A and B are shown apart, each in its own frame.
Chain A
Amino acid sequence: MNTIIFCIPLLPFLGFLLTGIFRNYLSRQLCGIIASGTIFISFLLVLYVFFNHAYSPEAITYFDFISNPLLRISFAFQVDQLSTLFMLIITGVGFLIHVYSTAYMHEETPAHYARFFSYLNLFVFSMLLLVLGANYVIMFVGWEGVGICSYLLIGYWFKNNQYNYAARKAFVMNRIGDVGFLLAIFWIISKFGSADYSVVFSNATTIDTAEITGITILLFVGAIGKSAQIPLYTWLPDAMAGPTPVSALIHAATMVTAGIYMVARSNVLYSLSPVSMGIVAIIGLATALLAASIALFQNDIKKVLAYSTVSQLGFMFIALGVGAYTTGVFHVMTHAFFKALLFLGAGSVIHAMGGEQDITKMGGLRKKTPITYWTFLIAVLAISGFPFTSGFISKDEIIIAAYSYSKPIFWLTSFAAVLTSFYMFRLLMLVFFGSFRGTPDQEKHLHESPAAMTIPLIILAVLSALGGFIQLPHVFGGHDYLNEFLAPVVPAFSHGTEDIAMREYYLLGATIIGLLIVFVLTRKWYAVSTFEGKYSGFKNVLAHKWYIDELYDGLIVNPFTNFAGFLKSKIENSGIDGLVNGIGRFIRYLSRQVRLVQSGLVGNYILIMVLSITVLFLVFWNQDVLMGFLQKIF
């Protein structure tokens, strides 16, 4: 069993090596088969683990990664329900996206095609490492690994410097979070003497609450970076520079949920610190609202989805913050389905439009791309919380949990959910309804995508529609299968004795009414034949993302650049080096003064000689007088 588990991440790594090393020799087809095949086998292995309940309470240790007398960090995997669920999402959705990519990327030259897939496989490997690790250090290894893969994939079209900057921005912002994560790890090591989950969680209660709060906040800083929360969220929309399947896999379904995984994994620590939980909930809520408000008026199809992702991640953190860990994880799962579907659908649209991403130029694609339309519709319904789709059930749980935690959070969360449905329907209307607003050439080119792209869409659509049923509320005759499944690792939210049945009904009713209103409004405003996409007033502020990027540039980036320039030219070159050179120059100056004595005129030399002799003569003649004089002075 240990070998099988080791093979789960190893296979994508092999895929990475094969496609990477032989990238100049592999045909596109072979490359696609290798890349998707390795992920698929990993997926089968995870299924095997899942169905055999091969969970080990103890970590599976392979070798010592770091060892010294005081600290031992092993290269160990922890296969439990939580990591298995994440592995299922990563390899399952990952496989579908790989298949999709084989068609989406077919215009690339074989060498670049292979490069793309090798990065993608490396990403899956790192992500699996992240969720499999049995201690925080291995998690960090995967954590940084996915970061660098994200960097490589955002900058995949490296000829465009704009994309490269986006890639670097993503990596640097992630690193800001990583500082927090690393500090948390060091803190954990200094308190527990180990970074293993088992040691840390079983001894968590022995540590002072203030320290736990410090540790959990620092961990959350890491999560903020990786999961794009306020204030480190601005990289994610820019990360849309990468190919669309990358956005689907990395920047929607898996990598960005690593922060949720981390918090859910550390639930023992978080539960001990109400302060940290409050911070998590508030940051999550603020992000959900801010990102949703920005998404309302974006005109780039991928930007809308990116802000939507940020917002949905905020929802997940709300769930975690109010203590509903399993709900957060559940939303990760459903979100992986519908958001991957949305991105892949968007990719299909972009594909049909010949690379166009501006929704002001789309419209009326419903007829031309029926499969894409229907699957996209399902995804939109799911994310907007249409009753009994997966998104409804998970978001519903979050809202109900928020209600038990605090009323203001409940209302604001609900408001964010309304905004979600609004911007999603706006997108749907602008893309698929109304009439086509692009150029005639584009109109001629419109076509449905090939099967390799549509089949993953259909599978994901089914999952988005029905995937929620594993956790259908009791009121509607369901059962908490997921909560039960995760119970050994992550505790479910306890509502206490409150009666939540009534709330479920109210929510169901409110959702239906709300969606109807949103549908009517967006249909009226956005299912149109001409659409400028220009806004004024407050809408313009939203369309410009609250000018947050400009603010960061003005407050942080530019001052830093200037400061670095100041250090380089003033302190380093004129200051420190100036001092060092100054000493040398001073000595040279002195020597130049002394050198003047060496005039080269014989007369001078002789004069000096004669004078010196005279002086010496006088000195020795009057030695006693001189000494007496000197003694008088000193």
Chain B
Amino acid sequence: MPVSYYIILAATLFCIGVVGVLTRRNAIIIFMCVELMLNAVNLLLVAFSKMQNIAHPPGSVVINGSDAQIFVFFIMVVAAAEVSVGLAIIVMMYRNVHSIDVNFLNRLKN
């Protein structure tokens, strides 16, 4: 399968994520959209690494693309940590303002 299919899919996912973050006010949905973007990037990384592997078989001097697959795991770990912190913040926010609308978070301004 040509790599361009993956790229288009990842770009679509990313754009959905961006638009979701921009348009939604519900913190959890925004959160999910952020995850969507992260995963779009993950998908790209995996796709590119596979493509690299095909172009340069193991044993050749050029670095093969397996680094990128390791990156994906890193990103998953960081995303998991981020989710745990982020959800905690959302829970605290809900306790304080009884809402998870992000527009309620402009209190710091004053």
Contacts and interface: CB of A to CB of B under 8 A. Distances in A.
Contact of A600 (B18, B22, B25, B106): B106
A151 B104 CA distance: 75
B103 interface: yes
A603 B18 contact: no
Contact of B21 (A598, A599, A606): A606
A600 B109 contact: yes
A480 to B, nearest CB: 98
A603 B106 contact: no
Contacts of B108: 600
Contacts of A606: 21-22
Contact of A603 (B22, B107, B109): B22
Contacts of A599: 106, 109
B102 A602 contact: yes
Interface in A586-617: 598-603, 606-607, 610
B105 interface: yes
Interface string B93-110: 000000000110111110
Interface residues of A, number: 9
Contacts of A598: 109
Q: How large is the interface on B (under 10, 10 to 19, 20 to 34, 35 or more residues)?
A: 10 to 19
Interface string A140-161: 0000000000000000000000
B103 A601 contact: yes
B37 to A, nearest CB: 11
Nearest to A614: B18
B102 A603 contact: yes
Nearest to B18: A610
Nearest to B24: A603
Nearest to B108: A600
Interface in B26-42: 30
A606 B37 CA distance: 14
Interface secondary structure of B, over-half rule: helix
A6 B105 CA distance: 89
Interface string B13-26: 00000100111010
Most chain B CB within 10 A, of A599, A601, A602, is at A602
Nearest to A598: B109
A522 B18 CA distance: 115
Interface string A542-572: 0000000000000000000000000000000
Contacts of A607: 22
Contacts of B102: 601-603
B71 to A, nearest CB: 20
Contacts of B18: 610
Interface string B43-79: 0000000000000000000000000000000000000
Contacts of B103: 601-603
Contacts of B21: 606
Given A607-B22, A610-B22, A602 B105 contact: yes
Nearest to B102: A602
A610 B23 CA distance: 13
Nearest to B110: A600
Contacts of A610: 18, 22
A598 B18 CA distance: 21
Contacts of B106: 599-601
A607 B19 CA distance: 9
B72 to A, nearest CB: 22
A90 B22 CA distance: 100
A599 B105 CA distance: 11
Nearest to B103: A601
Contacts of B107: 600
A392 B30 CA distance: 116
Contacts of B22: 603, 606-607, 610
A44 to B, nearest CB: 88
Nearest to A613: B18
B16 to A, nearest CB: 13
A607 B102 CA distance: 14
B53 to A, nearest CB: 28
A606 B102 CA distance: 12
- Which of B30, B103, B108 lies at the interface centre, i.e. has the most chain A CB atoms within 10 A of its CB? B103
A601 B18 CA distance: 16
Interface of A: 598-603, 606-607, 610
Interface of B: 18, 21-23, 25, 30, 102-103, 105-109
Given A602-B30, A602-B102, A606-B22, 15 more contacts: A598-B109, A599-B106, A600-B105, A600-B106, A600-B108, A600-B109, A601-B102, A601-B103, A602-B105, A603-B23, A603-B25, A603-B102, A603-B103, A607-B22, A610-B22
The 5 closest A-B pairs by CB, nearest first: A600-B106, A600-B109, A602-B102, A606-B21, A607-B22
25 contacts: A598-B109, A599-B106, A599-B109, A600-B105, A600-B106, A600-B107, A600-B108, A600-B109, A601-B102, A601-B103, A601-B106, A602-B30, A602-B102, A602-B103, A602-B105, A603-B22, A603-B23, A603-B25, A603-B102, A603-B103, A606-B21, A606-B22, A607-B22, A610-B18, A610-B22
